[in-house]
Amino acid sequence: MASYFCEKSTADPQPGDLLEITNGFSKHWTLYLCDGYVLSAVPLEEMPQTTKCKQSFIKMQLLEEAVGNGSFKVNNKYDGEFSVLPYEKIIHQAQILMDTKVCTDLLGPDCEQFIILLRYGENASVQVFLKNHFTSL
């Protein structure tokens, strides 16, 4: 297996950053690896989709390919709430998951939850964050 470690630099984005990609009304999340590459949960169009599960494939791709005609921003939105895993651990976990199939959907794991789990080692989706911080939910 190839190694995807690289030196951190002062340029944005940094290895291990969460990238929020906006394309029209849709949002997608990726994890920045290095040298212009990201880890993404890419939907498998050719596989039958159910209402409960959307099959996705975890793959490394160029950031420009993931962004397409959209835009992106670094959004490490839970850095104040959770400890960020060491960069080496984030990348190691990303390497293990690369080229695997996952089930993503709005009611269960989605691309945001998957990427957040890699950065923090926590299930820190907005829904879980709100539930944990506002007991009336």
**pLDDT tens, residue by residue, 62-114:** 999 999 999 999 999 889 888 999 999 988 888 888 888 776 654 444 677 77
**50 is a domain residue:** yes
**3 is a domain residue:** no
**115 is a domain residue:** yes
**49 is a domain residue:** yes
The pLDDT value recorded for residue 136 is: 39
Report whether pLDDT(129) > 70. no
The pLDDT value recorded for residue 56 is: 76
Active site residue 111: yes
Residue among 6, 28, 34, 133 flagged as catalytic? 28
Determine the structural domain holding residue 73 and report its residue range: 18-133
Please give the Cα distance from 126 to 23 (Å, whole number): 20
**113 is a domain residue:** yes
**99 is a domain residue:** yes
Q: What is the DSSP letter of 134?
A: -
Residue among 6, 53, 103, 111 flagged as catalytic? 111
How many domains is the chain built from? 1
**pLDDT tens, residue by residue, 7-60:** 444 448 999 999 999 988 888 889 999 899 999 887 776 545 555 566 778 889
Active site residue 53: no
The pLDDT value recorded for residue 93 is: 86
**120 is a domain residue:** yes
Q: What is the CATH number of the domain that holds 70?
A: 3.90.1720.10
List b or e across 17-41, with b for residues whose CB sees 16 or more CB atoms inside 10 angstroms.
bbbbbeeeeeebbbbbbbeebbbbb
**12 is a domain residue:** no
